[in-house]
Amino acid sequence: MGEERAATGPVAVYCGSSEGTDPSFAAAARELGTALAEAGRTVVYGGGDVGLMGLVADAAMDAGGTVIGVIPEHLVRHELAHHRLTSLEVTASMHERKARMAELATGFVALPGGFGTFEEVLEILTWTQLGLNAHPVVLLDVADFYGGLFDFFDHAVSAGLLKERHRGAALRASTVAEAVALLGRSPGEVAPKWVDLV
């Protein structure tokens, strides 16, 4: 496992633009926003005022935290932007949004979400695998939401398509307190994916 370090710097939060059907998702979103603010961690997220996204941002702001929203221009036009944030950055595209969030963050955490959340967290795990990200990536497994995904990761390892050392980059937390603690860990040196080919 990675070594302990001081938990500082902004945290990118990936999560749904809906609240979902399980009340524990919304509760975890509020708790995470509050916990990050109380830990002095700036929240970087997708800039929306809806769903779990809005709950995280509101909770962090209500707890006196700093929240940076990063939202693509086309979503601002659909009136989905949150206007009560510390700052709101508008990008030209979704690709620029993801790159900017990664640039700002020193840790990543995923709450439950849909395709967008899956894509964002899998991309940053890919960057970790390729040596492009050295910050912890935590999946907050509320109500076993990510259980099937972790089973699939294990299946990919068994199938010989994912190395166990890269599989370990996906950190799993069952509580907000555990997630915040894991954000203070270093994932350690991850051998680049292509090292096995030379």
- Residue 65 binned pLDDT confidence (cut-offs 50, 70, 90): very high
Mean pLDDT of 4-26: 88
Model confidence pLDDT, tens digit, residues 67-76: 999 999 999 8
The amino acid sitting at 131 is G
Instruction: Give the total residue count for the chain.
Output: 198
Burial class (CB in 10 A: 0-12, 13-18, 19+), 184: middle
Residue burial 8-30, b: 16+ Cβ < 10 Å; e: rest:
eebbbbbbbbebbeeeebbebbb
In 31-188, at which residue ranges do the beta strands (DSSP E only) sit?
A: 43-45, 67-72, 87-91, 108-110, 137-140, 170-173
Calpha distance 53→139 (Å, rounded): 15
Structure tokens at 184: 């203070």
Tell whether the model's pLDDT for residue 93 goes beyond 50: yes
Tell whether pTM > 0.85: yes
Which CATH entry fits the domain spanning 11-184: 3.30.1660.40, 3.40.50.450, 3.40.50.300, 3.40.50.720?
3.40.50.450
- Residue 185 binned pLDDT confidence (cut-offs 50, 70, 90): confident
Cβ atoms 188, 2 nearer than 8 A: yes
Longest distance between any two alpha carbons in the chain, whole Å: 52
Structure tokens at 183: 């954000």
Tell whether the model's pLDDT for residue 103 goes beyond 80: yes
